[in-house]
Structures are given as structure tokens and as C-alpha cells.
Amino acid sequence: MKLWNQYRGLIAPVLVVALLAVWPMLTGKPANRESAFTILKAIALASSLNILLGYTGYVSFGHIVFYGFGGYVGIFLLSGMGWPLWASILAGGLASGLLAFLLGSAILRLRGGYFALATIGVNEAMRAFINKFDLFGGPTGITLNFSVYKAYGGAAQALQTSFYIGAALALLALAISYLVRTSKFGLGLLAIRENEDAAEVMGIAAPWAKTWAYVLSAIVPGMIGVLFFFKNGNVEPGDAFPLHASIELLVMVMLGGQGTVLGPILGAFAYQGMRGYLVTSPVFKDIQLSVSGALLLLIVLFIPAGAIGWLRQRVPLLRRVLA
Amino acid sequence: MNRKLSILVTFFALASLVLAACAPGSVEAPPVADGSDTEKTVVIGFTSSLTGAQEVSSKRQVNGLTLWMNQVNAAGGIHLSDGTVVKFTAQTYDDESNKERVQELYTRLITEDNADFLISPYSSGLTAAASIIAEQNGKIMITAGAAEDDAYKTGNTSLFQLYTPGSQYLLSTVDMLKTLDPSARVAIVHENDKFSTSVVEGLKPYLESQGFEVVLEEGYASDTTDFGPVINKIVESGATVLLGGGHYPDGSTFARQLYERKAGLKFISLLVAPADSKFPELGEAALGVSTSSQWELSATHTPEEAAALGKEWYGPSGQEFADAYLALTGDKPTYHAAGGYLTGLILQKAIEAADSVDPDKVRAALEALDIFTFYGGIKFDTRAEAHGLQIGHEMVVAQWQRNDAGELVRQVIWPANVATAAPLYPIPMP
């Protein structure tokens, strides 16, 4: 019973990810596997961003920098140094965590709009740097040779393996998110979100807590970056640091409900599911961007607290299971 | 109350969209044979950039492919020796010029839309991602708009490149400069993307081998709209010739600002943008700007040329293609449109040669292909280290000049044997 009380908020998020992981197997359709991968990737990224945005209250417009940087490091090690995929993924995550630690020590002194602007600058600066960095291929990036996939049973099997690793990384992201949310450390972050000065007066070491929140929010994006570019066969600066993807992540977190574990998962699911449907729908595919924009506008206007926030406000009973 | 109602409606709309996205068979059923034993409808699958940075060129490519498909179907399809009549239909999605969904869409095209053959997305990066899906499913993918060399050096067996590879794009321009002004000082200013950088990687060593001095090499971001600082560097470098550019949006802006800033260059060659029929909308800024072109109507290839080279001629004449394209779209064809048409024409030729739509037989036919069309020569590298790379096609140099009526027209200025006008060198000062 104690275990149930401790982890009941984890049930719904795990169920969503588990269903997504088995959906392609149940339907037997490879196209569903690709759609599910896009959603799982979004879940991992949005849940990671939520640690900073939802729990700590710091808006990062350039969070995608960790995805790109980790991806580049991992693909370089995989392609150039012959590292195995699992080690490259770990290295990508660690590299992003280290980058977040160094950046966080500097820019987390800023607050509000100043911090948000700095994160945009960091992303653009990193893209410009990678563009000139010959070791990572400069503007042409790194293209994987097909022989890389042979070690994983060929391209078809490599894509299948990538999907299951993607599901595992999504689970890892939500586990980190849940553990932070329910820990003393997480309470400290929530206090910083509400009033940073008051939190410091209460004894919370805000700079330390914020930096570690930033690091935790960067590790999984770095790992998922390696996996995505491995699956895609190449990485180049424009694809590794797309600023619009950061904005999309913010939308996903806010759509589902920032500051909750389940919110970013539902937000990512709804946003990517909607885009996936619209882009292939015979009716909407030519106007899909307009339709998705209009729908998002409606949602933000009418449900500013996000889906989970809205449900928690109106159905008190659900507060026990919707963490 | 109204607010609650609105919230409910919004929720239901979202929920229905998500559910529909999850539902199987949310896309139209793929076309099938009409019941006749002798007719087969082949599905050609591709994504195109209806939105995003590659929109202009990508749409022209799709128009070209559509024209070919209309023509071959209207002519009764391809007749195989076993009595099968092969007709074609297309299944396509918008990839938004974004790599994220390309693999998802190509998997859908193959496994749910049952595409038999694939055409590449428009751009080297998108094609590299899509080629993995093609390879794993054993599907042939003919590429147009994916000129960068690296994508064909990954060990694939399914890609077949229509365009001259990026590393050779500007070599004929250098040959022309060698005859016009061997002492020219060259600035290379290019978009920092996969394609443009691969062009420069082939260009710079060739310039140096021909004795030219490269006084500036500079890259710019794809979304650059202010070229002022770059133009200042060009002027300060003392360059007399500019080679570079990237794609349509940046190239047209770059050309306009070069004119407005009176950069004083004797010769300007930009990639892609000046090859588009919208380019003269720049007015005087377009005058004298040249480009390397995969194909120009004014210097279209002919059966006589094919005969002289001992090659097999295939397909319509350039004028026949241009007239049909104009009738379909109301627009003059560019090399992107011709490229789209050729992807279909090559497939048609390979199916005829294979006398089958079996992928392995068609692949073998493509590997053996060595033909000449209005677009020029087509032959693919069959070595494992560069499988599918185009080795039979050569580019021309075209320049915007004024005709006798004072209109801006694109003239072919190199090679000399197909030139329709002498090069405008130096470009008149604004």
C-alpha cells in the first residue's frame, strides 16, 4: 500500500509510454512504429524540459541545444571513433549534461526574460560553432555509412532496435521527471518557481538546485539526439539545432500542463499525434500548418493551465493519480 | 456557459484528431488494378516541400513529374511482353522541408500506400534520411534535387541520382572564366548547408588548379536576409568574380543586395536561384547574374547530338516537353521541372528495358542505363563506393541578359558549342 501511494502518479505516464511501445507490434505496421518513435522522442524531450520549465519556472527557448550537441558528440564517436551505439548514447547524454552544468553556472544567474533570451543565444552560438567545426564535418555534418548498421543486423533491424531504445529513453525521462517531482530536491525547485528569493530565505541553495535541474533536463535530450541521428543516417547543423523545435517543446509542455509528470507526456502525444494525422490526412494535408496553428491557439486560449492542470483543478479526486 | 461550451468543443476536436491519427487506414486506400489481369497500376511515392525553405524548387519538380505521369497514362501506359499494361499513380505528402518526419512518411508510403518506386525529397539532407528507409525495404529511389555527393557514398544500392553531383556544379563556370579572364580574383561566398558546401568543396581545388586566386571564402547561414557585412568583405577583398550562393530565398536576396550596394563585380554566379523563372522579378539586379544549370530549353539536347555521341536517344524533344509543361502549368519550365519529368522518364525507360516492374530487374536496368534525352546524358556509377552517382550528365552555364526587346532572358553562355549568346562580361555597372 505504501508502495502504491508512493508511485501511483507514475502509473498513467508509464502506461502511455508502454502502450506507445507495443502499439506498432500490435498493429504490425512499420509506419506506426515511425509515428510512435516521433511521439516517444517528443515525450522524452518535453518531459526533460518540464524539469526546468515546469518545476523550476525557468523558460528555456533553446533547450534543443542539448539534443543537437549530444547528438553530434555521439554520432562523432559512433562514426569517427567506432564506438558502439549504447556507449555513444551514454556519451551524448553525459556531454549534454556537462554542457548544461557549464552553461547553467553562468546563465542561471539571469532570471525571467533575460534567461530566456540567453538560451536562444546559446543555441544559435552552438549552431554557428558547429558550422565551423571541421571535426564534426562543418556545414555538411556527418553522414553514416550503411556498414554502421550491419553491426545491428542491417538497416531494418537497426531501426527496430532504435525504436525500443527510444521507448526506454522516454521511460527514463519520465522516471527522472517523477523522481524529481516527488523528491525534496523537487520541492525546492517548486519553491524557486513560486518565489526564488523566498526559497533562498527558507534555506534552499537556489544556484545549486537550478544548476542540477538544468543538468538533469539536458541528459536525456542528448541521448535521444544520438539515437535520432543514428536512425536518420546523418547529422547537420540545421537539423541538430532547430530553434522552432524548442518552441514546439514549450507548446507541448504547456498544452499538457507544466509542472506535472503526465502533462508533458499528454502534450507531446497530442501535439505530435495531431501533426502526424494532419500531414497525412487527404483532407488536411495541404493546409495542415494552418489547422494545427488554429487548434493550438484555441487550446492555449481556453485551457491555459494545460490539460492536466485543467483536470486537476476541476476533478479533485484525480489529483491523487495525476501527478 | 459559452466558455464551457467552447472548451468542450475544443477538447472534442483535439480528441477526435488524436484518435483519428491512431486509427488504422486513415489514409486513402492505395490504388489497385481495375480488375483486368493485364493492367497494373504502379504507385510512385514521394514527399515534397509544399512548405518550408525548398518550396519553390520542389513544387516545380513535382509539376514535372506530374506532367510525365499524365502523358504516359494518356498514351495507354507501358506495354510489357507478357501483356501487362503498366500505368502510374502518385502518392505524396508534404515534408515541410523538415527531416523529422521524412522517415515516417517514407515508411508510410512503402508499407501502407504500397509504393512500388520512390522519388527522393528535394534536398540532400532529406534524401539521406529517406534513403535508409528505401534501402531497408529494397525500394528503388530516383533522386532529383539531391546533388550532394556523400549521400551516394554510404554503401546504398537503391539510390539513382539524376543531377550532376554537387562537387562538379561550378566546374564548367571555371572553364569559361579561364577563357574570359584568367587573372580574375575569385570570392567564394556560399550558403552554409550540405549542398552548397559540397559544391564549394569541389570548386576551390579546381579553381586553384586552374591558376585562379581565391581571395575570400565565406559561408553564410541559410536564413540570412542581410548580406551587408558579407558584401563589405567581398569589396574589401578586391574580388572581381563572385561564385557561390545556395538556394532560392537566400540567392535572390543576395543578388538584389549586391546590386543595391554596387559591389562592382565583373561576374556573379549563384547556385539555384537564377535558374528559376521568378528570378527576373528582381529587375536590373538580375542582369548579368549567371548560374550553373542542369538543363536549359535554349540549349536543349537533341537526337543529332545523341547520334554523334553514339548514344541511344529516348523521350520527347526539349520543345515538346516545354510546350506540354506550359500547357499544364502556365509557366516556362526550369531545370527543376525538367528534373522532375526525367525522374519519371528514366523509370519508364528502365521498366521497358527490364520488361518488368520487378524491383531487382528494374534496378539492373537502371544500372545498365546509358541514354541521351532532351535533358542530356544519363548514366549511373555502379561501383559499390559510389553507387548511383550520376556520371553521364553535364551542366551548362546560363546568364540573365536583355534581348532585343529589352526583356530579361536566360541565355546559355557555356559550353561554346551550345551557347546561345556571348557572356556578358563584365556585368554593366549599376
B213-236: pLDDT as tens digits: 999 999 998 889 999 999 999 999
CA–CA dist B217, B188 (Å, integer): 5
A311: closest CA of chain B, how far (Å): 12
Give the pLDDT score at B354. Answer: 96
Contact A286 B50 (CB under 8 A): yes
B21 pLDDT above the threshold of 60: no
Q: Per-residue confidence at B370, pLDDT binned at 50, 70, 90?
A: very high
Q: Residue A302: which of B7, B103, B197 has the nearest Cβ?
A: B7
Map grid coordinates 537526337 to a residue: B303
Which pLDDT band holds residue B52 (cuts at 50, 70, 90)? low
The predicted-structure confidence for B397-408, as pLDDT tens digits, reads as follows 999 999 989 899
Please tell me what DSSP assigns to residue A285. T
Is-contact B112 A31, C-beta < 8 A?
yes
Give the A window 122-141 contacts with B, CB below 8 Å: 128, 131, 138-141
Q: Check B108 against A280: CB less than 8 A apart.
A: yes
Contact flag A139-B194 (C-beta cutoff 8 Å): yes
CB pairs under 8 A between A and B: 156
State how far the Cα of A252 lies from the Cα of B58, in Å rounded to an integer.
30
Interface predicted TM-score (ipTM) over 0.90: no
Q: List the single residue in A156, A277, A286 with the smallest CB-CB distance to B136.
A: A156
The CA distance from B226 to the nearest CA of chain A, in Å, is 16
C-alpha cell read off for A265: 507526456
Helix ranges restricted to H, chain A: 2-27, 30-50, 64-80, 85-107, 112-132, 147-150, 155-181, 184-194, 196-201, 206-232, 237-240, 243-256, 262-280, 288-302, 306-314
pLDDT for B30: 41
Instruction: Name the H helices within B139-242.
Output: 171-180, 194-209, 228-237
A143, A270, A286 member nearest B154 (Cβ): A143
Contact between B53 and B83 (Cβ < 8 Å) = no
Is the Cβ pair B103, A34 closer than 8 Å? yes
Contact between B111 and A38 using a beta-carbon 8 Å cutoff = no
- The span from the CA of B288 to the CA of B402, in Å, is 9
Residue B426, preceding peptide bond in cis (omega within 30° of 0): yes
Q: Name which of B45, B48, B49 is nearest B28 in CA terms.
A: B45
pTM of the full structure = 0.80
More confident position, B2 or A85 = A85
| Cell numbers linked to B302 | 537533341
Cell numbers standing for residue A199: 526559497
Q: Which residues of chain A have pLDDT under 50?
A: none
pLDDT digits (tens, 9 = 90+) for A106-119: 888 888 778 888 88
Chain B hits for A279, Cβ within 8 Å: 93-94, 96, 101, 105
Interface test with B, best of A16, A29, A140 (most B CBs within 10 A): A140
User: Which domains can be identified in chain B, with CATH numbers?
Assistant: 39-164+302-386 (3.40.50.2300), 168-293+395-418 (3.40.50.2300)
Q: Which residues of A touch B26 (CB under 8 A)?
A: 277, 280-281
Residue spans of the domains in chain A: they are 2-242
Nearest CA to CA, how far is A139 from chain B (Å)?
A: 5
Please answer yes or no on whether B132 and A303 come within 8 Å at the CB atom.
no
Contact B10 A299 (CB under 8 A): yes
Q: Which of B34-38, B230-234, B347-351 has the lowest mean pLDDT?
A: B34-38
Pick among A143, A152, A243, A255 to test the B interface (most B CBs inside 10 A): A143
